[in-house]
Homo-oligomer: A and B are copies of this chain.
Amino acid sequence: MKADALRGHLDALLLAVLDDGPRHGYAIIEALQARSGGALSLPTGTVYPALRRLERAGYVESTWSTVGGRERRTYQLTTAGRKTLAAERSSWAEFTATIGAFLTPRPVNP
């Protein structure tokens, strides 16, 4: 998949993963990779700053914990985050409908 195609959809993606329940950064990356069949393997340098951005925006909250001697920062959706996710989902539908009108393979005229 082209690298920069994600532009503008990453936040929605992260919120969607967190909608399944709280996760820490590393687990989010793994969840994306697993549920996409390996198609989405985002580098940490992409995900961590994005999570901080979402927290600054008030869409997620984070809490530190120590598991097996390792520090974890677990994120979970806020109410605002859930609302934003819903908006992102519908704007995703609108987006695919708009662009898809041009790009979905149309049947060759018979």
Question: Which residues of A are interface residues toward B (Cβ below 8 A)?
Answer: 1-9, 12-13, 16-17, 32, 35-36, 39-40, 86, 88-96, 98-105
Contacts and interface: CB of A to CB of B under 8 A. Distances in A.
A82 B88 CA distance: 33
A95 to B, nearest CB: 5
Query: How many copies of the chain does the oligomer comprise?
Result: 2
Interface of A (DSSP majority class): helix
Given A7-B4, A7-B8, A8-B7, A104 B93 contact: yes
Contacts of A101: 35-36
Nearest to A40: B98
Contact of A91 (B2, B16, B89, B96): B2
